[in-house]
Amino acid sequence: MTIPPLWLAVAALVLSLAALAVGLSMQRGFKQAQLTRERWFQHQMERLEREHRGLESALAGFGRHIDQLDAQGRETLDRLGQLNARIDAVAADDDQPGFGHALRLASQGRVSVEELIEDFGLSESEARLLMRVSRPDDDPRPL
């Protein structure tokens, strides 16, 4: 039995149309998947850009904070140098032999008011003044 050529042509046409429909369906699916991937990548890029802007802002704030800390550190070092210069000047101007030693001990917190009175012959008001000048953070009372 032979199949007439017309039937072969119809069968080939039907198969071609089915293949074309499957191909178009696959192409539509690929395009949809590509659009979905593109939207996902676009969303990821937007998220990364927002995070990048946030990090840049935080870094700028951190830089300003570091600059402030650096300025405060320089100011503190300057004040410490001034205080040390004052202590050295007071100790150098001292005409009593033990006063410089008493000043050093008081600034180090190694003596009490009573010890300054007994060991160095200072009056109570002199000893209290020396303690307050050399260790102002230790005395919570205002001047």
> pLDDT (tens digit, 9 = 90+) per residue, 34-50?
999 999 999 999 999 99
Predicted pLDDT at 19: 94
Predicted pLDDT at 45: 96
Average pLDDT, rounded, for the chain: 86
d(CA 93, CA 3): 130
> pLDDT (tens digit, 9 = 90+) per residue, 62-86?
999 999 999 999 999 999 988 888 7
Residue 95 pLDDT more than 70? Answer: no
**Contact of 111 with 105, CB cutoff 8 Å:** yes
User: Alpha helix (H) ranges present in 94-112?
Assistant: 99-108
The angle, 0 to 180 degrees and rounded to 10, between the axes of the packed helices 113-120 and 99-108 is 160
- Render the burial of 22-54: b for 16+ CB within 10 Å, e for the rest: eeeeeeeeeeeeeeeeeeeeeeeeeeeeeeeee
